[in-house]
C-alpha cells in the first residue's frame, strides 16, 4: 500500500497478505498524523454512525414508499430485517478478522483478488453518491412542511443542494466534527421518532391499513418488489465496517456497533411503519410526501405536530447525509491506497479523504439537478432502485468472502466453535443479497449493470497504467 499523496504502487497478491495488519501499523492508523481535527470513534459513536446512516430519510419516507404494495410490505419488512441482521453479523466477523478501512472492498479483495475488490469498491461508491442525491431530494419534502420550497422546481433544487453541501463542509472540517454531528443528530431525532412510533399505536385504526396486497402482483412478487425499495432505507448496515480504520479497537467494536445499530434501527422502523399505517388512511398515504407529519396531524389534530416531525426529519436526514458523505469517500480511499482507484482519492486532510468527499458531493449534486430538470419522478425512482442493485454487489461479495474463509477451514481465519453458526449466517446473507438483486427489477438491474461495466473499463485503464509503471 502506498502512502497517501504518492503514486500508487502494485499491491501484493492476496495470498501474500496477512488476514489483518498488526494493530498500530500505519495501515491500521491512517489518522495518526492527521492532527487534532482527527479523532477515532468509540463504540457509542460507531453505533450512532450505523443507526444514523440507516435511519436517515428511510424512516420518514418508508410508509409512503411501500404503501402502494399494501400491508404485504410488512412481511417484506420482516424478511429484510432478518437479512440485514445476517449481513451485520457477517460484517462483524469479517471486521474482526481484517479491521481495515474499506469494509466490503477489503474483504472482497483479500478473498478474491484485485478485480473483485475493485468491483466492490466501484459498486459501493456508486451506491453512496446516488443515495446522497436521493436523501437530499427526500429531505426537501419535509423542508416544504416548514418552509414552502416545493412549489417551484428551482427553489426545491437549491434547497436539496444546500442540504448536501452542509454535511460535506462538516466532513472537510475533519473526522472530529463528523463524529460530533453524527452523535448529536442521532440522539436528537430519536425522541420525536419514538414519540410517534409508540404514541401512534394508541391511535391505531385497522380500517386505515387498506388491502393486504394492493400491487396486483403475486404475493412473492409483491414481497420482493417492496423489499427492493425497503433496502434503500437499510443501506448503512456496513457503516462501521467501511470506517473500521477510524474506530477504536475495531476487532471488538465494529461487530458490536453493526449488530446493535442494525437491531435498533429495525425496531424503530417496525414501530414507525405500523404507527403510520394505522393512523393515515391508505389512499392518502400512497400520495403522501411527508407521511410522518401526516400521521402526527391525524393523531393530535392541527399542524404543529407535523411541523415538529418535519424538523426531526430534517435533523435525521442531515445527520444521515453527514455519515454517508464520509462513507462515500472511505471505500475509494482504501482502493486508491492499493492502486485500484486513482491515487488522488488517497489524499487525506484532518483524517478525511477530502478528494473523495469533493468528487462525491459534486456527482450527487449533478444527479440532483438532473432529477429536477428532467421533471420525472419515475426516472429518479429507477435510480433509487439502482442503488439497491449496486449495494447488493459488495454485500454479496462480502458474504462470499466469509463463505470462502469457512470452506477453506484455515485456523487463522475460522473459529471451529462458531463454524456451523457462521456458515448458516453467511448462507442467509448471500441468499438475501441475490433475492434483493432479483427484486430490484429489470430496469434497475439494466442500469446497474451499465454502471458496473463502466467500472470494468476504468479498472482496465488503471490496471494497464499500473503494469506500465512496474
Query: Could you give the angle at the alpha carbon of 277 between the alpha carbons of 273 and 280, nearest 5°?
Result: 130
Mean pLDDT, range 28-51, rounded to an integer? 59
Give the DSSP per-residue string, 340-396: SS-GGGG--BTTB-HHHHHHHHHHHHHHHHHHHHH--HHHHHHHHHHHHHHHHHHHH
Highest mean pLDDT pick, 48-52, 335-339, 377-381: 335-339
Q: In 10 A of CB 210, how many CB atoms? A: 16
| Torsion angles phi and psi, residue 111, rounded to 5 | -85, -40
**What is the structure's pLDDT at 4?**
32
Residues, the chain: 470
The pLDDT tens digits of the residues spanning 265-313 come to 888 888 888 888 888 888 888 888 778 878 888 887 766 767 777 777 7
pLDDT band at 460 (very low <50, low <70, confident <90, very high): confident
**CA–CA dist 241, 101 (Å, integer):** 7
**CA–CA dist 64, 56 (Å, integer):** 15
Indicate the SS3 state at residue 41.
strand
Q: In 10 A of CB 184, how many CB atoms? A: 15
Nearest one of 181, 152, 153, 155 to 167, comparing CA atoms: 181
The pLDDT tens digits of the residues spanning 178-215 come to 566 666 666 666 766 777 788 888 888 888 887 888 87
pLDDT band at 400 (very low <50, low <70, confident <90, very high): very high
**What is the structure's pLDDT at 150?**
61
Q: Which residues of 374-407 are buried (b: 16+ CB within 10 A; e: fewer)?
A: eeeeeebebbbbbbbbbbbbbbbbbbbbbbebbe
**What is the structure's pLDDT at 21?**
34
Task: Give 177's contacts (C-beta < 8 A, 6+ positions apart).
Answer: 37, 170, 171
Q: Using the predicted structure, report yes or no on whether residue 413 has a pLDDT greater than 50.
A: yes
Q: Using the predicted structure, report yes or no on whether residue 3 has a pLDDT greater than 60.
A: no
The pLDDT tens digits of the residues spanning 229-265 come to 777 777 778 777 777 777 777 777 888 888 888 888 8
Contact status, residue 26 vs residue 201, Cβ threshold 8 Å: no
The overall average pLDDT reported for the chain is 76
In terms of DSSP H, where are the helices of 200-351?
219-234, 239-242, 250-279, 282-285, 291-300, 304-337
Highest mean pLDDT pick, 86-90, 131-135, 152-156: 86-90
Query: Could you give the angle at the alpha carbon of 111 between the alpha carbons of 81 and 121, nearest 5°?
Result: 65
Percentage of residues of the chain with pLDDT beyond 70: 80
**CA–CA dist 274, 279 (Å, integer):** 9
pLDDT band at 427 (very low <50, low <70, confident <90, very high): very high
Report the Cα–Cα distance between both ends of the chain, in Å, rounded.
14
For cell 407521511, the residue is 291
Cell (9 digits) for 185: 443528530
Instruction: Quote the DSSP letter at residue 88.
Output: H
Handedness of CA 225, 229, 230, 234 (dihedral sign): positive
**CA–CA dist 381, 205 (Å, integer):** 30
**CA–CA dist 443, 454 (Å, integer):** 17
Contact status, residue 317 vs residue 309, Cβ threshold 8 Å: no
Mean pLDDT, range 149-161, rounded to an integer? 79
Amino acid at each position: 500500500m502506498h502512502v497517501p499523496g504518492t503514486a500508487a504502487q502494485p499491491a501484493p497478491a492476496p495470498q501474500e497478505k496477512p488476514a489483518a495488519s498488526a494493530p498500530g501499523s500505519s495501515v491500521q492508523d491512517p489518522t495518526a498524523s492527521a492532527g487534532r481535527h482527527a479523532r477515532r470513534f468509540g463504540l457509542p459513536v460507531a453505533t450512532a454512525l450505523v443507526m444514523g446512516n440507516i435511519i436517515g430519510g428511510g424512516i420518514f419516507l418508508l410508509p409512503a414508499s411501500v404503501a402502494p404494495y399494501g400491508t404485504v410490505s410488512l412481511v417484506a419488512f420482516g424478511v429484510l430485517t432478518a437479512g440485514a441482521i445476517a449481513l451485520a453479523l457477517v460484517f462483524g466477523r469479517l471486521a474482526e478478522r481484517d479491521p481495515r478501512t474499506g469494509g466490503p472492498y477489503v474483504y472482497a479483495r483479500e478473498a478474491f483478488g484485485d478485480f473483485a475488490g475493485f468491483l466492490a469498491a466501484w459498486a459501493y461508491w456508486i451506491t453512496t453518491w446516488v443515495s446522497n442525491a436521493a436523501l437530499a431530494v427526500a429531505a426537501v419534502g419535509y423542508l416544504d412542511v416548514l418552509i414552502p420550497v416545493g412549489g417551484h422546481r428551482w427553489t426545491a433544487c437549491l434547497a436539496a443542494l444546500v442540504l448536501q453541501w452542509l454535511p460535506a463542509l462538516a466532513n472537510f472540517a475533519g473526522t472530529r466534527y463528523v463524529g460530533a454531528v453524527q452523535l448529536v443528530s442521532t440522539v436528537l431525532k430519536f425522541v420525536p421518532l419514538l414519540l410517534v412510533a409508540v404514541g401512534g399505536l394508541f391511535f391505531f385504526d385497522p380500517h386505515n391499513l387498506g388491502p393486504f396486497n394492493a400491487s396486483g402482483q403475486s404475493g412473492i412478487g409483491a414481497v420482493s418488489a417492496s423489499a427492493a425499495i425497503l433496502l434503500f432505507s437499510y443501506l448503512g448496515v456496513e457503516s462501521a465496517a467501511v470506517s473500521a480504520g477510524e474506530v477504536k479497537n475495531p476487532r471488538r467494536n465494529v461487530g458490536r456497533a453493526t449488530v446493535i445499530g442494525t437491531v435498533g434501527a429495525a425496531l424503530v422502523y417496525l414501530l414507525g411503519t405500523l404507527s403510520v399505517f394505522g393512523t393515515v388512511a391508505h389512499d392518502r398515504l400512497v400520495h403522501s410526501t411527508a407521511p410522518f407529519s401526516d400521521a402526527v396531524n391525524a393523531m393530535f389534530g392541527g399542524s404543529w405536530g407535523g411541523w415538529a416531525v418535519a424538523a426531526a426529519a430534517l435533523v435525521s436526514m442531515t445527520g444521515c447525509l453527514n455519515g454517508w458523505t464520509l462513507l462515500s469517500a472511505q471505500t475509494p480511499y482504501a482502493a486508491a491506497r492499493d492502486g485500484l482507484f486513482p491515487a488522488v482519492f488517497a489524499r487525506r486532510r484532518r483524517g478525511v479523504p477530502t478528494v473523495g468527499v469533493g468528487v462525491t458531493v459534486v456527482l450527487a449534486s449533478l444527479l440532483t439537478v438532473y432529477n429536477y430538470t428532467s421533471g420525472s419522478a419515475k426516472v429518479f425512482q429507477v435510480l433509487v432502485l439502482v442503488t439497491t442493485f449496486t449495494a447488493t454487489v459488495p454485500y454479496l461479495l462480502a458474504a462470499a468472502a466469509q463463505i470462502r474463509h469457512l470452506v477453506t477451514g484455515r485456523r487463522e481465519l475460522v473459529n471451529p466453535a462458531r463454524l456451523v453458526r457462521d456458515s448458516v449466517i453467511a448462507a442467509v446473507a448471500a441468499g438475501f443479497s441475490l433475492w434483493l438483486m432479483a427484486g430490484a427489477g429489470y430496469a434497475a438491474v439494466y442500469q446497474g449493470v451499465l454502471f458496473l461495466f463502466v467500472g470494468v473499463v476504468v479498472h482496465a485503464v488503471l490496471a494497464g497504467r499500473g503494469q506500465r509503471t512496474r
